[in-house]
Structures are given as C-alpha cells and as structure tokens.
Amino acid sequence: MLHDVAPATWPAYAAFVAEVDASFSIPLTLLVVPDFHRRGTIDHYPDFVAAMEQRLARGDELVLHGYHHDDPGPIPWHPRAWIQRRILTHEGEFLPLDHTEARARIDRGRALFRQLGWPVHGFVAPAWLLGSEARQALAESSFAYTSHPNALLQLPDFHPLSAPTLVWSAGSAWRRVLSLAWNHERLRRARKARLIRLGLHPVDMTHASSRHFWLRTLALLLPARHAVTKHAWLEQSS
C-alpha cells in the first residue's frame, strides 16, 4: 500500500509504480489524502484525478487517508503527547481532534471521493494515530475498515484481524540502516501470517536502499502469495 498519495507526492511514486506494474502487475492499495498539507483539494488537479482513475481501472483500491495529513498544534505539555506528535511524527492529524471536527473531516473526505465517483471502503488515519473522539467518529461512519501497524480493524467495532506491516523510517541515514534490519526481522517473524502488508511512503522513493528493499520483498513474497487490496482481502476473509 502506498501512503500519503496526493498531487504533490504522486510524481515521487511514478517510476516505482511503473516498475511494479511491469515486473509484477499486482493491484495496489493507495491511501489518498484529500487536501495534503492544505495545498488544495485533489479535485483541482485533473492530472492527478486522471492518474487515480487509471489506477482504479487496473484494479487498485483508493482509501481515504485523513484529510490534511498535518498536525499544526498546539501541543499540551505532556511527555506522551510530545513524543507522539513531535518526535514520532508531525502529521498525526486525527490524534488531537474532537468528535465534531473528526466527523466533519471524515465526511468531507468521503463527499469528495463521492463527487469524483471513486468507491471507498476504508479510512486510515495519518501515522495510524486516532484519538478517542476521532475513533468514536469513525465508528459512527459507514466505512468497512481502518488499520494500525499490526492489524486490519473491521468497523464499527474495531475487530482486529492480524496483518503485520513492513514499514520504513527513511528520513535519515541511521533510520534507514535500522529500518533495513528491523524489516528483515519483522518479515522473518511474519512469514506465516495470512496477510503481510507493505507500507510504502513517498520518502522511501528517494533512497535506493528502501526502493530496492521493496522490490526485493515483492519478488520474495509473490511466488508463494497472492497480492490483493485491503478490501478484497477482507471480503475473501468474511
């Protein structure tokens, strides 16, 4: 699955996606941000809309991935909040939102997908972070699922289905070194899992080590596994 898909990030993915199409021809799950970093909603970018519609025609799934994918603050002075919202990520949009604002952003995102004629079954919060009030707002929605790093969560009751995720932290050299070792170990532990998710981010595309890891991992897994989108897997498992 490709995280943070938006007009500003799609060019970073383009060459990698073309290589995956040519080498493996598998469906992808694309986590689309309606108004990435408040740069304008996706309906104002016709080339991006056309690209997403081409992906849908290939069998890909589009997932609603937050709304702005940012978290501008302010942050209460509490160690846990500071670590979650400024050390681990600056983009945990749905962690601090109250119920009203979380529901409004979920509804606006769904309405935008509907306006574009895009089917949508899943919602994934940026950085997988959901505050308690945002969680309640999501439970009240009609989405089929959300997820966190270890599971797909069937809505509305957040019923977990084990689905470990490989994911890189590729923003610095030392993080890439640790990510390579961590993902090799996580893959070893997950080899018997029914579903293994590959969580790619735009920054992964800017480094040869992470790009090559993803391509090698696909080549390793696909001979013994069938690639599916998240929603397709849930339908097969129900």
**pLDDT, tens digit, for every residue of 143-174?**
999 999 899 999 999 999 999 999 998 778 88
CA distance 21 to 35: 27
**Token pair listed for 223:** 């001979």
Domains detected in the chain: 2-237 (3.20.20.370)
CA distance 117 to 110: 10
Burial of 228 (C-beta count, 10 Å sphere; 0-12/13-18/19+): middle
Question: What digits encode the pLDDT tens for the residues 1-56?
Answer: 999 999 999 999 999 999 999 999 999 999 999 999 999 999 999 999 999 999 99
Residue 3: phi and psi, rounded to 5, are: -85, 160
Percent pLDDT > 90 in the chain is: 79
CA distance 180 to 182: 6
Q: Which residues contact 179 (CB under 8 A, 6 or more apart)?
A: 168, 169, 170, 210
Judge if the upstream peptide bond of residue 74 is cis by omega within 30 degrees of 0: yes
Instruction: Give the pLDDT confidence score for residue 49 in this predicted structure.
Output: 98
How much is the average pLDDT of 90-109?
91
- Name the residue among 90, 88, 91, 93 with its Cα closest to residue 175: 88
Whole-model pTM over 0.85 = yes
Q: Find the length of the chain.
A: 238
Q: How far apart are the first and last CA of the chain?
A: 21
Q: Which residues contact 140 (CB under 8 A, 6 or more apart)?
A: 103, 156
